[in-house]
Amino acid sequence: MTIRNTLPNTLTVFMLVGLLAGCASSSYVTTNPWSGSPNGTTSGSSTGKQIASIALNQIGTPYRYGGSSPSGFDCSGLVQYSHAQVGINVPRTTSSQYNGAMRKNNPQVGDVLFFKIDGRVSHSGIYIGKGKFVHAPSSGKQVEVTRLDNVYFHDKLVGLKRFY
CA proximity to 137, closest of 123, 158, 151: 123
Choosing from 23, 83, 135, 154, the catalytic residue is 135
Catalytic annotation on 23? no
Choosing from 23, 83, 123, 154, the catalytic residue is 123
Total Cβ atoms within 10 A of residue 148: 23
Length of the chain in terms of residues written: 164
Cβ-count burial 15-31 (b if 16+ within 10 Å, e if not): eeeeeeeeeeeeeeeee
Q: Is 85 left (phi over 0), alpha (psi -120 to 50) or beta?
A: alpha
Q: Which residues are catalytic?
A: 75, 123, 135
